[in-house]
Chain A
Amino acid sequence: MAEVQEVKKEREALFSKKNRKLISDPLNDSNPITVQVLGICSALAITVKLYPALVMSLSVLFVLGVGNVVISLMRNLIPNRIRIIVQLVVVASLVILVDQVLKAFVYDVSKELSVFVGLIITNCIIMGRFEAFALGNTPWKSFLDGLGNAFGYAWILLAVAFFRELLGSGQLFGFQIIPEAWYMSNGGFYSNNGLMLLPPMALITVGIIIWVQRSRNTELIEEN
């Protein structure tokens, strides 16, 4: 009951300017991957194709959104000394949920993601947002912050996957984009860049995204 009342009380400012900023900021100027450097581990390994990247983004969206709300609801109950364990338990239970759902409905993708679904638990974005935001803010704000950061994570993931799938196998979401007639085997001039499918190119693609982002917003440039 208590939470219902709390939501009602804040309704007049549900999408106030400050709240909208919580969603829009992580998309660019405080992007979790390229600026806060959180959650790189899983971001790179599953970006060979767009579809698994999309599934992964949705999983993170769910875990981060719900987790932030749960932690925020409990923020006054959690003793400071054991907060890491409490956070881990909350994330781990949510990730088990996601994992079981994926195994039941999209088994192929869940095989492809293999250990990386489990690794959402130690994804630094999640712990980072719990620590930095959910422990000190109301549930609705934490929810927005979770959504914003998950979107920020998702667009980098999808951008990397877009380039890797397009250049690496000439497809998007498994559909052929580059016309078949262009390929060398059919007498054309084009061939796929197999290098894009290999793990190191994910790092280099993110490096280039960071480069582009920082030359557009020079405030983000680091000292050395």
Chain B
Amino acid sequence: MLKIILPTIMLLPTALLSPAKSMWTNTTMYSLLIASISLHWLTPSYYPTKTLTLWTGMDQISTPLLVLSCWFLPLMIMASQGHLQHEPHKRKRMFISTLIIIQPFIILAFSATELMLFYISFEATLIPTLILITRWGNQPERLSAGIYLLFYTLISSLPLLVSILYLHTNTGTLHLPIIKLTHPNLPASWTSLLSSLALLMAFMVKAPLYGLHLWLPKAHVEAPIAGSMLLAALLLKLGGYGIMRVTLLMEPVSNFLHYPFLTLALWGALMTSSICLRQTDLKSLIAYSSVSHMGLVIAASMIQTQWSFSGAMILMISHGLTSSLLFCLANTNYERTHSRILILTRGLQPLLPLMSVWWLLANLTNMALPPTTNLMAELTIMVALFNWSSPTIILTGTATLLTASYTLYMLLSTQRGTLPSHITTTPNSNTREHLLMTLHIIPMLTLILKPELISGTPL
């Protein structure tokens, strides 16, 4: 554990002290090195937790997410080079160090075996994200997006703190493996209902559940590319991970909570997919598509079967890679046309032919075409939900149909059609961008061959 956390912390002096010329190279290479070392976490083990220390440990649920978060740091650094190139050097340094500060907190949050440590690092990721959005966003609306992000998350996580403290006084410990062993003797009363609601709500906002999702499209639209990637790939997964951890604690979830949350998640998947069909803003479309996918994750982690958990895990990982890739693609368009409006960025295939290959691949994975892990995840989740109650197939089926249609709409409107007349010159797509897309695609394509790495089931 420490052999990843310590180098990640030491990335900060690397970014602050390395000479101006080699700053990008140093940080990117160093974080890529950390990412490649973190791959050894994926080695199978018969123990329930790997690399167990006093406060941290990794099991099958947290391992793929940890590797994913280590993988994304070099990608985020690489993606932000484009829009930072006109900034003075000091600001580039500050931007990179803001990105790096989040990383240890995310790793801690995913690997903590102590609920309080988890809570603290969960909250600590909020501050650098807020800085990323409100300082580095492009438009004045970023301030209201920051306020939305901050207050939605804070208001929902104060009850979480209270109920964690209550759990501590009740059971005497917050150590997750020990809590799992204690018998859940919460009587069916309003207080236990409210406390489990409080435990869930913070993660439901973070995930986000439909109805509590309003901060997400705003934050995504206003954030710089690294912020969008971070939100889509890691912070939403923090919410899903929290739901999976917490629902294991309060087994069985009371029926009062089951039905509303499941229905909201499934109906929300349907609603947000249909919202996508009428979006004018490319980034907002991708943001709503992640709300719809995370709705499936929430529904799956609420019903708590083996199948649904492994479906939720696979969907979290593959959605993290896919949506981050889509945001990167949207950002390459944005850097060329300075507009995220779909009508203004249409018909780019003749201009950037190689980039449209990445668009095609990203959209096909987003709509869960057969060989991808997205399809495995969606099928697993749909089967688990169908077993829970058969009418869910109506909702999940319609959501899949809508997902395919809005993804095709996005692909066709960005790539095909006539070129808008206002684009006079377009810079070519460069090697950095292609490398960025390749580093997203490679894990997606290779995970198809061995999905049990990310399925959350013991190997």
Are A and B associated in one complex?
Answer: no
Measured CB to CB, the residues of B under 8 A from A are none
Measured CB to CB, the residues of A under 8 A from B are none
